[in-house]
Amino acid sequence: MQFRNINQLHKTVTTPPIRCFLQHRLEHQTEVDAGHTQRAQVKERDDSQPLSGIIQLDDVYWGGEQRGGKRGRGSLNKTPFVAAVSVNEKGHPIAMTMNVVNGFRSKEIAKWAKRHLDADSLVVSDGLACFAAVTDAGCQHIGIVTGGGPECVSLEAFTWVNTLISNVKRSIDGAYHAINHKHLPRYLAEFCYRFNRRVVLEDMLPRLCYVAARTPPMPMRLLKMAEFHE
């Protein structure tokens, strides 16, 4: 007899130890599914609120080199995403967004900027050529050639975007250890949502419940799919 999922198998097993094990697996899977649902909800919410004002922008990769595979930016085990942080006139962070993209090309960055940045924003980035495409979304752009190396991360113009990239990577590694690359957009959205609502912590849970109530149901087949890239 073949079983389509663990739920069907659990209903047919009568041996107590095996039933206990399967029940634990079911509870764990329920927690995982609920987590993915909540991350999808907060991602949808933050995607509808573009950044504005002065914005620090940087390119990031998630993942590392596979043994015997290609090294560097072309590694198949690395997922590219952009990190953007809006700051006020004093340089203090206001909000951030991190979104997976299909590579660092002008067309991709232009498409991302039109969705996640307000027109007339001032975008400050490193010298990566594709970042100039934010002007297609009506933004102003300042590119700073950093030269690479350890010194570039200490530049004041990128203080907050570099800090938050480091914090998010460390948090994901510490909390989840390993995640599927296709679900990376949702995990990034989880940290962005919490950071963007850090000022009034007591409102975070009610606002999450409000978002959950307004979000259409997400069937299991969609939860298992890769998140849509920008």
- pTM for the model stands at 0.77
pLDDT digits (tens, 9 = 90+) for 27-72: 556 656 666 677 777 788 888 899 999 999 999 999 866 565 566 5
Measured distance CA(57)–CA(219) in Å, rounded: 34
For 149, 162, 203, the CA distances from 167, given in Å and listed in that order, are 19, 9, 23
Has residue 173 got a pLDDT over 90? no
Among 33-42, 54-63, 105-114, 204-213, the minimum mean pLDDT is found in: 33-42
For residue 222, the model assigns a pLDDT of: 67
Measured distance CA(105)–CA(86) in Å, rounded: 22
Question: Which distant-in-sequence residues (6+ apart) come within 8 Å of 33 by Cβ?
Answer: 220, 223
Annotation: CATH topology of 47-220: Nucleotidyltransferase; domain 5 (3.30.420)
Which H or E element spans position 86? strand 79-87
Structure tokens at 185: 């957009």
Measured distance CA(15)–CA(29) in Å, rounded: 21
Give the mean model confidence (pLDDT) for residues 100-120.
Answer: 95
Under DSSP, the state recorded for 112 is H
Structure tokens at 214: 């307004």
